Amino acid sequence: MSDFLDYVEIQILSGNGGNGLASFRREKFIPFGGPDGGNGGNGGDIVFIGSNNLNSLRDFRNKRVFKAQNGTNGGSNKRNGKNGSNKVIRVPLGTEILELNTNKKIADIVTEDLEVVLLEGGKGGLGNTFFKSSTNRAPTKYKDGKKGKKLRLALNLKTISDVSLIGYPNVGKSSIIRKITNSKASVGNYQFTTITPNIGVLETKNKDFLIADIPGLIKGSHSGKGLGHQFLKHIERSNCLIEVLDTSCLNIEELQEQHNTLLFELKEYNIKIISRIKLVVLNKVDVCKFRDDLSKFKPLKNCITILASSLDGFGMEDLKREIESI
């Protein structure tokens, strides 16, 4: 089983407020003391925090219910109850939080260490001391604490990256990201070698780029075929897309068909994504049988085409320079 998990359903419950107390001071020689009932403590909140140290929702695989602590009841001698502890839930940056029943987006966790209070705990009740007045010196009135709230949520992780590599399975995306970043993406000659988005860092003089190797798309991905939407959603946050095509195919027509099919899948999923394709990498030129015909390839308008071989590193420096100039 892969450790990567990008969707999970959970339940959250904030803490109940503690009850206030109706109590009167009773001491030797003071038989009729005044009210001394304390207030209840507030229930704990449910708090989400984004963490750069997490890249998956796998911590939720075996735990799906999260509850904050209840506030304690008020005591005599004007002792207030303790507030319940908040339940802090850490999630990867890029996690959308949706209300499960309505699919409404409640929060989008994209900032490191920013606290988002999703459910507030119940307020503590009031003790009878609170109700003492000049006209009512011995109140018996008190209030119970408010109940906490509960909510069923869907957590949906969409990988955050500056650049995403997209293309069919086995076109060499993982090999490219290994060459240009510090990623240790798995490489192999079979479909869906990459079953999770790999993230690497391209270090340049002026900026570090987060680069994602998005698992391979196939014909019908936009409608969920293969691993469909599980993969496509991870490119939504990328500022730049790099299309990777495999030139070890039979001829230039087949290469063009790769390109056309890929564009169709992206358009059917979200047409706005197309405008983010800035570079096209024609990979595996070391084994290309129609290299003289590569000039006939027709990329998107204003896209830069790079000839490359991730096997021997050819074109990788050109690719780095183009990414840096984006």
Contacts of 271 (CB under 8 A, 6+ apart): none
Which residues in the chain show pLDDT less than 50?
1-2, 185-194, 221-228
pLDDT on residue 189: 39
Contact 71, 49 (CB under 8 A): no
Candidates 189, 194, 171; CA nearest to 282 is 171
pLDDT on residue 270: 84
pLDDT on residue 268: 85
Contacts of 196 (CB under 8 A, 6+ apart): 2, 4, 6, 56, 215
Contact 326, 240 (CB under 8 A): yes
Whole-number CA gyration radius for the chain? 29
CB atoms within 10 A of CB 4: 14
pLDDT on residue 224: 46
pLDDT on residue 223: 44
Tell me what percent of the residues of the chain surpass a pLDDT of 70: 88
Contact 17, 69 (CB under 8 A): no
Query: Which structural domains are found in the chain, ordered by start?
Result: 1-157 (2.70.210.12), 163-325 (3.40.50.300)
Alpha-helical segments (H) within the chain? 173-180, 228-232, 252-269, 316-325
Q: How far apart are the first and last CA of the chain?
A: 37
pLDDT on residue 216: 55
pLDDT on residue 217: 63
According to DSSP, the β-strands at 240-246 and 163-166 are parallel
Tokens of 83: 């507030």
- Between CA 76 and CA 36 the distance in angstroms is 6
Tokens of 247: 């030139």
For residue range 187-220, what is the model confidence (pLDDT) as tens digits?
443 343 445 677 788 888 888 888 988 775 655 5
Using DSSP, how many helices (H) and how many strands (E) does the chain show?
A: 4, 14
CA torsion, ordered 145, 131, 39, 119, to nearest 10 deg: 40
pLDDT on residue 231: 64
- Between CA 4 and CA 91 the distance in angstroms is 13
Tokens of 296: 């006939």
For residue range 81-118, what is the model confidence (pLDDT) as tens digits?
999 999 999 999 999 999 999 999 999 999 999 999 99
- Between CA 316 and CA 63 the distance in angstroms is 43
Candidates 246, 230, 240; CA nearest to 286 is 246
Contact 164, 200 (CB under 8 A): no
Query: Crossing angle for the helix pair 173-180 and 316-325, nearest 10 degrees?
Result: 80
Q: Is 15 helix (H, G, I), strand (E, B) or coil?
A: coil
- Between CA 231 and CA 228 the distance in angstroms is 6
Q: Is 82 helix (H, G, I), strand (E, B) or coil?
A: coil
pTM for this predicted structure? 0.74
